[in-house]
Amino acid sequence: MASPIGKYAPLHTYLVGQTAKAVVLSFYSVEQILGFKLPLSARHRREWWGNENQATTRHTHSLAWALAGRKANPNLGCGTVTFSN
């Protein structure tokens, strides 16, 4: 059975391993963790970082942090995202 978080599994694993209440990552750092570039929408649309309901979302990227017990709060101007629990 395929993972519900697919190619975003490395981000999930990274976030699960963090003990701080808030983890701030640059978009570049997220890309380094993932091993591929984020889509342009991640850099330009706040909605891409939406914190969706785990039971109903089909977005594997948002499941990666939701299943790690985190919420994403991007700062598009700075090119960073804060994952907090």
In the chain, where are the structural domains located?
6-84
**Contact between 49 and 73 (Cβ < 8 Å):** yes
Q: Is residue 1 scored above 80 in pLDDT?
A: no
Instruction: Name the β-bridge partners of 23.
Output: 83
| pTM for the model | 0.90
**Contact between 27 and 37 (Cβ < 8 Å):** no
- pLDDT single digits (tens) 13-61: 999 999 999 999 999 999 999 999 999 999 999 999 988 766 666 788 9
Burial 2-13 (b: 16+ CB within 10 A, else e): eeebeebbbbbe
Q: Cα 1 to chain center, whole Å?
A: 22
